[in-house]
């Protein structure tokens, strides 16, 4: 069996855009500057849509934030969509460290804490998802903790047509992106094809999303003891 022996298929946004326009019934020879501007905008909107639909594993990064005694709130990069898991690292004094998981709370729960300046070992965090987001710890670090570490889902990088730039999605998501881009462009350039292209895009996204999950065991343990004690 003759095969290429390569795994390098990763077309540029320009190449994907030509194919997407073809599916909208627009031939390459008919494309003008207006089409290219529409393509750039549509590609970035699709990237934003993918970021909104769920956690994209290829966009998850580990962030380490050094902690300062008495400081509860720290800036979060605006490109971060949401914090997934967080833990505190403590230096043991012998060259080793210990990590302890901390849990998220809502704005309402954080607001209910009577002493927000109380210092100690942080056990919870609240992410304030503003245009310039931040993360607030409680208890407030007392100086014995070295850093806050958290896995965060980041936005997909901007799509660009310059210099043959590629799209910030892995190979297994390439069809889903192309189908979604075709549907987005059809809204402007081929409204009569939008229904068909949108259905194809939804199917492709669902297929790609099945590969966008971690493979791990999970356990459910019932509580057998009574909740209330007399």
Q: What integer pLDDT is reported at residue 226 of this predicted model?
A: 55
Q: What integer pLDDT is reported at residue 230 of this predicted model?
A: 46
Pairing of the two strands 134-138 and 73-75: antiparallel
Note whether 72 and 114 are same-domain residues: yes
Per the structure, how many domains does the chain have? 2
CA distance 187 to 195: 9
Note whether 64 and 135 are same-domain residues: yes
Note whether 51 and 164 are same-domain residues: yes
CA distance 66 to 89: 9
If DSSP codes are grouped into helix, strand and coil, which group holds residue 190? coil
114 burial type by CB count under 10 A (0-12 exposed, 13-18 middle, 19+ buried): exposed
Q: What integer pLDDT is reported at residue 224 of this predicted model?
A: 61
Tens of pLDDT, residue by residue over 151-195, are: 999 999 999 999 999 999 999 999 999 999 999 999 999 999 999
Q: Which residues of the chain have pLDDT under 50?
A: 230
Q: How many residues does the chain have?
A: 230
Note whether 200 and 131 are same-domain residues: no
Name the pTM for this structure.
0.86
Note whether 66 and 30 are same-domain residues: no
Q: What integer pLDDT is reported at residue 206 of this predicted model?
A: 95
Query: What does residue 74 show for φ and ψ, rounded to 5 degrees?
Result: -135, 145
Question: What range defines the domain where residue 23 resides?
Answer: 13-55+156-209
């Amino acid at each position: 069996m003759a095969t290429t022996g390569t795994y390098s298929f990763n077309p540029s946004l320009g190449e994907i855009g030509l194919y997407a326009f073809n599916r909208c019934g627009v031939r390459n020879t008919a494309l003008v500057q207006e089409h290219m501007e529409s393509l750039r905008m549509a590609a970035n909107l699709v990237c934003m849509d993918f970021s909104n639909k769920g956690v994209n594993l290829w966009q998850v990064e580990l962030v380490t934030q050094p902690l300062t005694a008495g400081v509860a709130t720290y800036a979060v990069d605006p490109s971060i969509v949401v914090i997934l898991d967080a833990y505190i690292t403590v230096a043991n004094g012998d060259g080793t460290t210990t990590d302890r998981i901390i849990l998220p709370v809502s704005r309402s729960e954080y607001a209910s804490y009577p002493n927000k300046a109380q210092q100690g070992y942080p056990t919870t965090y609240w992410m304030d998802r503003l245009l310039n987001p931040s993360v607030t710890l409680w208890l407030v670090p007392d100086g014995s903790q070295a850093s806050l570490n958290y896995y965060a889902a980041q936005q997909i990088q901007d799509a660009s047509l310059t210099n043959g730039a590629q799209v910030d999605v892995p190979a297994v998501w390439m069809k889903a992106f192309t189908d979604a881009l075709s549907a987005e462009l059809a809204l402007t350039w081929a409204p009569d094809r939008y229904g068909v292209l949108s259905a194809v895009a939804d199917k492709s996204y669902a297929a790609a999303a099945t590969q966008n999950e971690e493979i791990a065991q999970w356990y459910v343990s019932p509580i057998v003891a009574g909740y209330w004690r007399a």
